[in-house]
Structure 1
């Protein structure tokens, strides 16, 4: 899924860019849930947010499993270089795998 990561392949290398959007969406959902639990006490809102949060985490996990497997194989071969930060929009976390 392009919402979670982006894959660019050239003749010499593969770049996998992990986008920070999903991390911030999860933090926002968690913050809304905590505010609701601590301050608002609106039960129907909790019954909606937590299942959405869990489903979103599961979708994110399974969409990144293939990427992580590819990166682990390349790490064992010593062909991976990482740059960026997983919290940054301007320089997102990037795996560069040389062929």
Structure 2
């Protein structure tokens, strides 16, 4: 049994029919067929880049205390980027 309470051995011993019955009973699942896969497309998320920058010690300490600090930094910068874009749009409109 995993630490999360999943009995993986029980899942590993299921027959194909049991697996398909479980999928059919799951309201959030759907069986994919050849038609689905014939039109399926790979969708990639935005590309990420590793960057190096110098930050103040207290900022780094705060970030390290955050859950998933890389994503948090990205969210903070994205929010600021969008706010800057909105400000620029307002300035252009007021001219």
**Is the structural similarity TM-score above 0.5?**
no
- Structure ID, larger Rg: 2
Task: With a CA cutoff of 8 Å and minimum separation of 6, indicate the structure with the bigger relative contact order.
Answer: 1
Task: Using structure 1 for the length normalisation, give the TM-score.
Answer: 0.29
> TM-score, normalising length from structure 2?
0.30
